[in-house]
Structure 1
Amino acid sequence: MASTLLSAYGFVPSQKREERGYVTDFKSSFCGQKVVCNPSFLRRQTTHCPRNSVVVTSLLGFGKKTKTRQVRETVIPDPDYRIPIVLLGVAGGLAYTDNVVPAIPVGLLGLLLLVQATRVRFVFDDESLEVKVGDQLKESGENVFVGGKNRWKYSTFVNWELWWPNFPILVYFKETQTKPEGQIHFFPVIFNGKQLYDVMVERAGPSKNSGPRES
């Protein structure tokens, strides 16, 4: 934006201009003013000016640098089948000991998580966590429990935890995007727990209690 100086007596530039490095002195006939110009601002030094004259100056925005933020890469933790395998093993043990009634729901849960581990993905892009489906990373649709898209900005995260660190079972987080008062989400950890923890710390900030150890 150019700076404009107005005078009641008009603007008649002088033929003399002196340059010293980055500072240029312009001498003009409007009110005997000396204007010192550098890349960032104008400074007015008044030597003599009639009472009825008006001078308007403005700052220059030259030399300002625009900060750019590097876009973070998308991270997708690897699938982890330990929880469904453990559940299916427990179901098999219960069935072997003739505890068929509890074996059925445990086995069904293990089978469900096994299928989900092959298809559900947590996708951490530059600004949000999103749940997607399949190798093609298709949209997962509406959240069946609370509604809305299965995509939440890190900036809306209030808190998150990974239970239990040595053998992560559940990941929990609370966000204010779905509801202003906060919405809680629980997901079984059917992903690599260490990768999940590291990217959550990087994108959503540190957790108070979580922290899986290196295997």
Structure 2
Amino acid sequence: MGFGAAEAIAQQKWHVREEVRRRRVGMEAEERLRAKDALTDHLVSLVRDRGASTVSCYVPLPGEPDTSGFLDWAHDAGVEVLLPVSLPGSRLAWTRSDGSPLVPGRHGILEPSGEQLPASAAAGLDLMLLPACAVDLRGTRLGWGLGYFDRCLSELDRRPPLFAVVHEAEVLPALPGELHDIPVDGVVTPEAIRLFPR
């Protein structure tokens, strides 16, 4: 890929990220609450339908699809959840969601303060629920540009089923992709669960 093509892709990604940020900031409180409840229902359905007993998830930032209801359900249902911890060098570790206090991590994202597991611990999960900026109908996942999840996923010797979690308006017909991008198997929004053909 030439410099011009790479620059064009970077510009496209920047525009999508800015539009998503703008839309997320503009969501009303009532809309957020409805979206949280509907998303919780879909995440619970996905985990139950797949018989998953170990999953990854994330603690939501303001404006992100709110997984807190799902995390509460998983704790009560005995589903083991690994949450990401940001390390130097855009690398991830994992910590079990076990009720330990949440503390601000490297980017202000709340992370559990319990024992850290290596990035490779994700290989043993039944399902991974990934934060994203947007996803397209081919399964291309656009993150926020720091590369934490791309690095982690590329180094796993076994990849569990991968599902991006976004708002419905963030499922787009097409996104710019690069060779290092790892496609997701599906997407979960407050409106639906979609599987992508492979």
Tell me if TM exceeds 0.5: no
Name the TM-score, length of structure 2 as normaliser: 0.25
Name the TM-score, length of structure 1 as normaliser: 0.24
The structure whose Rg is larger is: 1
Larger relative helix fraction: 2
Say which structure, 1 or 2, has more relative contact order (CA 8 Å, 6+ apart).
2
